[in-house]
Amino acid sequence: MIRTLHEGFLADGIAVPLSKLCAWFGVPRRTVYYKPTKAAPKVDPRFAEPIKAMIEEEHSFGYRTVAWLLGFNKNTVQRIFQIKGWQVRKRAVGMRPRIQAVPSVATTPNERWSTDLARVWTGKDGWASLALVIDCHTRELLGWHLSRSGRRGLALRLRRLGHTRSKVATWSGISGTMPCGLSALIE
């Protein structure tokens, strides 16, 4: 604005110093002379292309996993994630419904089972999902299943495996406790 006024006065033949114009409008002179020097961030394609390919192949990978698998610096990978908009956003803060924490007490075997699901690096085959079912009383491993994908079918296969071992147990998993009846076998 000040520069435009200054040029307009000069065009009319009136010489008014920039310092006087700044004083009249209450604008610091440094804002008139300021020129931004920072350029827009640039991303090197030799980093961005393999990162994008890995993210498209496996959506669940974060920047640390991608950096480790590609052998890149994790700070570089995180910066590329931010610039390209690939970074997963943080969860919203606030109360979310939670499962009520009830102590797991089983007085006899096959009364209550528990499950766990873990992602395991298998070398050349990539990541796999390992699902386990244990008896809460004896801590005996009732069954396990290794799968390339951790989808719903994995849990159903585990239920079938446990269902063949006993018909009276209660299923204790991520979504709480529920009986293992015939409805558990229906997909």
Please provide the DSSP assignment of the chain as one string.
Answer: -HHHHHHHHHHTT----HHHHHHHHT--HHHHH----PPPP---HHHHHHHHHHHHH-TT--HHHHHHHHT--HHHHHHHHHHHT-SPPPPPPS------------SSTTSEEEEEEEEEE-GGG-EEEEEEEEETTT--EEEEEEESS--HHHHHHHHHHHHHH-SS-EEEETTEEEE-SGGGG--
| pLDDT for 155 | 62
- Position 152 confidence tier, pLDDT thresholds 50, 70, 90: low
| pLDDT for 187 | 32
| pLDDT for 178 | 39
